[in-house]
A and B are shown apart, each in its own frame.
Chain A
Amino acid sequence: MSTKLINRRQFIQFIALASAGWPISGFAARKTPAQKIIGQQDDLVYSDLADPWLSLAEVQEHLLPADESSPGAKDISALRFLRNTLDAPDADTEEKTFIINGVGWLNDLSVKNHQQPFIKLNSSAKETVLRKIETSKAGSRWLSLMMTYIIEALLSDPVYGGNKDKKGWQWLEHAAGFPTPTTEQVYYKLADNTRRRIKS
């Protein structure tokens, strides 16, 4: 049923490729420690951003840019969705590491080819860097994951932190089903909460 599962074998191949061709950068690691878990309703997620989240937010906005008639990544709070999801109890830690390490690779390439980190580049240079990254298997996988999270942020229930004010659904004229999940029914709490209720 799930279509998002990481193909483990490919993942190992990506890591191997990354190690051979894309040395794991200290770029992400030497930035400030990751902030504590962002709550689902926390609108401060875009305040005082530091890497890796600063670069990830910039990538998200490039992949889903705002325009006059439709929301961009920040409008739907795509970063809040990403952080909530990566910090969820059942999150794949390898996937989280892969996403975060990708920021290092991204900025290494950006500095190498354009002498500046990704966030300082203009739109055209950002596109060039991302399309270059896409040519490697690991890079393509990283961008594919980023796109998956953006699409989920755009169209999942707002309870997960994206689709802020249902802007994604409204833009695409999507009629949601009912009932929608409560904060206690999000996918990573549902089974445990159900078990507790059945026992009580």
Chain B
Amino acid sequence: MKTDYDVCVIGSGAGAGPVISELSKAGKSVLVLEKGPWFTEEDYTKDEMACCRHSIYTPKLEDEQHVLEEQNNNGDWLSESTSESGWDFWNGNVVGGSSNFMSGYFYRLKPEDFRLLSEFGPIKGANIADWPVSYDEMEPYYTKVETEVGVSGKIIAHKHQEPRSTTDFPYPPTIEHPIVKNIDKACNQLNITSLATPRAILSQAANGRNSCEYSGYCGSYGCHSGAKGSARAALLDAAVKTGNCKILPDSKVYKLKSNSKGRVVEALYYDENNITRSISAKLFVVACHAIETSRLLLASTGPKHPDGLGNNYSQLGKNLLFSAGGSGTGEFHYSDMDRLAASAMKTRGPFVNRGVQDWYFFEDKAFAGKTKGGIIDFLLRHPNPISKAMSTRWNNDDNLNWGHKLKRDLKTVFTQSQDLRFEVFNDWLPTDNCFVSLDSTIKDKWGSAVAKVRLGYHEHDLKVGEFLSAKAETILQQMGAKNIRSSVSGSPPANLVAGGCRFGKDIKSSVLDADCKVHDVENLYVTDGSFMPTGGSVPYTWTIYANSFRVADIIKSRV
């Protein structure tokens, strides 16, 4: 049957980019339907009002929202829409997706992450599963991301270094902030291995992209130079140049229509004028954010899939993952330093490329046997001035702070110290209490049911997070930081989400097969973070990119 395109891809972020790029380069006709607008490098300025104070790169919550379910102290699940709470679960709905706004900390998973159940055994209340593919199968694609997306870094030997097929990164590390010397010194004194954090940021011009400009505003901001390895800068622009790829921004897919054989035949979407359209293709790829991918498939009922595509065994939307852990801060007061040291500490622009993996796996008397831990990453407090100033708005007595006292507090916060933060990443164990469904009452602006997300977590996540956080605090203490504090909680970071369509060998316990094809739909693939049965204890983006390159190779052989 003749179709409009070989492949239709829904979404354009990290999970979609490699598929779009690889298939376009292979001569396939590819249509990309992206819900958001198409900003380019010239549109991305360092404007806190656009990036972070208003919903410009994400939908307005009154137009599109989520319903979140949290458990109260009595064990009851209470739901609240995000337009009520203001808890925004969108990350970046533009061409290139949220990869435009990442900080670019890039980590591979380790071989043991692919077989968490076999390595560490079950944990009561958690649905831990081994992956149907191994690290060895993923490794060539991790390597491909280093060159195609662009990863800068430096390999330092350590006990948990994952195997690599190349000796080092293709690009040297980005320029580093002077504070890394203090981190290295403290770690050395504590017999901890301080590692250079790889970043999806070009330290040298390459592939038609510029090197980083070191403006000091990276995370939460779109990249003006093209150095950040967003799907847009690294992959989509080149895909469009092949002449085989067409990107339609402002195109919201609301249903995948399937026929009596269970095959997807059309994507139904609203165009920029909110007119319904349809497009046919031989093969469809969904990669539009873990929660939204599950939502779209749940809404895509058909003759063979009465409960949604890939949901004949009620697995769709289940085992949603976030990143567990927490964060902490320590202050370095300029008054404690000499003038040169204070001046160095105030540097803005270079990166704090330091992290610790000593406890990726560990044994400790508080835990039973060998335990899966995670990583610690260091970063400066985000430079956004409005956000920083907002922290002074309230006095300790919960009254508003204003007048001359406010001004003294502002001066202190902005000019007296540098804050070094750490973030802890550990596994968010999959459980029966973290999943996506369709809300029965709240609709988006087009009249489609919004996603309802239950946000349950496993207590083990907190225990590991607190263990790692305590280790991170010792490093800050060794550095001489003041007012050290940290927080570990079960509150999920909305920008680190995966799962919901886990891949596996058995259709009764997974949505996708090992190729990331929906088990019982012959022409539907999912390539965003939805496929992950467990998340590892690092940010997901590198793995999402790598898996999408892997699946692109599989699809290439099919169309």
- Give me the interface of A with B, judged by CB distance under 8 Å: 1-9, 62-65, 67, 70, 90, 127, 130-131, 134, 140, 143-144, 147-148, 151-152, 154-157, 159-160, 168-169, 171-182, 185-188, 190-191, 194-195, 198
Contact with A along B22-66 (1 / 0, CB 8 A): 000000000000000111100101111111111111101100000
Chain B residues, Cβ within 8 Å of A157: 47-49
Chain B residues, Cβ within 8 Å of A67: 404, 407
Pick the contact of A7 from B86, B217, B383 — CB < 8 Å? B86
Q: Does B385 contact A (CB under 8 A)?
A: yes
Pick the contact of B213 from A1, A8, A178 — CB < 8 Å? A178
Pick the contact of B84 from A9, A147, A169, A175 — CB < 8 Å? A9
Pick the contact of B387 from A3, A140, A168, A179 — CB < 8 Å? A3
Q: Does B522 contact A (CB under 8 A)?
A: no
Q: Does B527 contact A (CB under 8 A)?
A: no
Closest Cβ of chain B to A21, distance in Å, is 20
Q: Does B215 contact A (CB under 8 A)?
A: yes
- The answer to whether residues A187 and B249 also contact, given A156-B386, A173-B414, A179-B224 and a CB cut-off of 8 A, is no
Cα of A22 to Cα of B390 in the assembled complex, Å: 28
Cα of A5 to Cα of B55 in the assembled complex, Å: 9
Pick the contact of B407 from A5, A62, A64, A155 — CB < 8 Å? A64
List the 5 shortest-distance A-B pairs measured between CB atoms, nearest first.
A177-B46, A177-B217, A172-B414, A187-B50, A155-B385
Chain B residues, Cβ within 8 Å of A191: 37, 56
15 residue pairs from A and B, CB less than 8 Å apart: A2-B52, A5-B88, A7-B86, A90-B60, A134-B400, A152-B53, A154-B389, A155-B389, A159-B47, A175-B216, A178-B213, A179-B224, A186-B50, A195-B38, A195-B250
Chain A residues, Cβ within 8 Å of B217: 177
- The answer to whether residues A198 and B404 also contact, given A2-B88, A172-B385 and a CB cut-off of 8 A, is no
Closest Cβ of chain B to A68, distance in Å, is 11
Pick the contact of B402 from A62, A90, A155 — CB < 8 Å? A62
Q: Is the pair B402, A147 in contact by a Cβ cutoff of 8 Å? A: yes
Chain A residues, Cβ within 8 Å of B90: 1
Q: Is the pair A70, B53 in contact by a Cβ cutoff of 8 Å? A: no
Q: Is the pair A65, B389 in contact by a Cβ cutoff of 8 Å? A: no
Closest Cβ of chain A to B259, distance in Å, is 34
Known: A3-B52, A172-B414, A177-B46. 6 other contacts (CB 8 A): A2-B55, A3-B387, A5-B86, A157-B49, A172-B389, A179-B45
Q: Is the pair A2, B53 in contact by a Cβ cutoff of 8 Å? A: yes
Pick the contact of B37 from A134, A155, A185, A194 — CB < 8 Å? A194
Cα of A185 to Cα of B40 in the assembled complex, Å: 12
Cα of A154 to Cα of B409 in the assembled complex, Å: 14
Chain B residues, Cβ within 8 Å of A180: 45-47
Nearest A residue (CB) for B400? A143
Contact with A along B85-113 (1 / 0, CB 8 A): 11010110000000000000000000000
Chain A residues, Cβ within 8 Å of B249: 195, 198
Chain A residues, Cβ within 8 Å of B192: none
Closest Cβ of chain B to A156, distance in Å, is 5
Chain A residues, Cβ within 8 Å of B164: none
Q: Is the pair A190, B53 in contact by a Cβ cutoff of 8 Å? A: no
Q: Is the pair B220, A1 in contact by a Cβ cutoff of 8 Å? A: yes
Q: Is the pair A156, B54 in contact by a Cβ cutoff of 8 Å? A: no
Nearest A residue (CB) for B390? A151
Q: Is the pair B390, A190 in contact by a Cβ cutoff of 8 Å? A: no
User: Which secondary structure dominates chain B's binding surface?
Assistant: loop
- The answer to whether residues A1 and B55 also contact, given A177-B215, A179-B46 and a CB cut-off of 8 A, is yes
- The answer to whether residues A2 and B54 also contact, given A63-B403, A181-B45 and a CB cut-off of 8 A, is yes
Chain A residues, Cβ within 8 Å of B60: 90
Contact-residue bracket for chain B: 35 or more
Closest Cβ of chain B to A122, distance in Å, is 14
Closest Cβ of chain A to B368, distance in Å, is 40
Q: Is the pair A185, B88 in contact by a Cβ cutoff of 8 Å? A: no
Chain A residues, Cβ within 8 Å of B215: 177-178
Closest Cβ of chain B to A72, distance in Å, is 9
Q: Is the pair B50, A151 in contact by a Cβ cutoff of 8 Å? A: no
Q: Is the pair A187, B47 in contact by a Cβ cutoff of 8 Å? A: yes
Q: Is the pair B50, A64 in contact by a Cβ cutoff of 8 Å? A: no
Nearest A residue (CB) for B220? A1
Pick the contact of A195 from B37, B45, B83, B91 — CB < 8 Å? B37
Chain B residues, Cβ within 8 Å of A90: 54, 60
Chain B residues, Cβ within 8 Å of A159: 47
Q: Is the pair A194, B43 in contact by a Cβ cutoff of 8 Å? A: yes
Q: Does B272 contact A (CB under 8 A)?
A: yes
Q: Is the pair A185, B45 in contact by a Cβ cutoff of 8 Å? A: yes
Within 8 A of A (CB), among B121-147: none
Chain A residues, Cβ within 8 Å of B56: 187, 190-191
Q: Does B441 contact A (CB under 8 A)?
A: no
Q: Is the pair B86, A147 in contact by a Cβ cutoff of 8 Å? A: no
Q: Is the pair A177, B216 in contact by a Cβ cutoff of 8 Å? A: yes
Chain B residues, Cβ within 8 Å of A185: 43, 45, 47, 50
Q: Does B221 contact A (CB under 8 A)?
A: yes
Q: Does B393 contact A (CB under 8 A)?
A: yes
Nearest B residue (CB) for A144? B400
Chain A residues, Cβ within 8 Å of B396: none
Closest Cβ of chain A to B349, distance in Å, is 8
Contact with A along B391-420 (1 / 0, CB 8 A): 001000001101110110011001100000
Chain A residues, Cβ within 8 Å of B57: 1
Q: Is the pair A172, B83 in contact by a Cβ cutoff of 8 Å? A: no
Q: Is the pair A173, B54 in contact by a Cβ cutoff of 8 Å? A: no
Nearest B residue (CB) for A70? B407
Q: Is the pair B400, A140 in contact by a Cβ cutoff of 8 Å? A: yes
Nearest B residue (CB) for A160? B49
Nearest B residue (CB) for A130? B402
Most chain A CB within 10 A, of B57, B213, B404, B410, is at B410
Q: Is the pair A174, B399 in contact by a Cβ cutoff of 8 Å? A: no
Cα of A56 to Cα of B420 in the assembled complex, Å: 38
Q: Does B181 contact A (CB under 8 A)?
A: no
- The answer to whether residues A186 and B39 also contact, given A62-B402, A62-B403, A147-B400 and a CB cut-off of 8 A, is no
Q: Does B277 contact A (CB under 8 A)?
A: no
Q: Does B348 contact A (CB under 8 A)?
A: yes
Chain A residues, Cβ within 8 Å of B53: 2-4, 152, 156, 187
Chain B residues, Cβ within 8 Å of A156: 47-49, 53, 386
Q: Is the pair A152, B49 in contact by a Cβ cutoff of 8 Å? A: yes
Closest Cβ of chain B to A142, distance in Å, is 10
Pick the contact of B58 from A1, A4, A65, A154 — CB < 8 Å? A1
Nearest A residue (CB) for B250? A195
Pick the contact of B38 from A168, A182, A198 — CB < 8 Å? A198
Closest Cβ of chain B to A117, distance in Å, is 20
Chain B residues, Cβ within 8 Å of A168: 385
Q: Is the pair B83, A174 in contact by a Cβ cutoff of 8 Å? A: no
Cα of A159 to Cα of B50 in the assembled complex, Å: 12
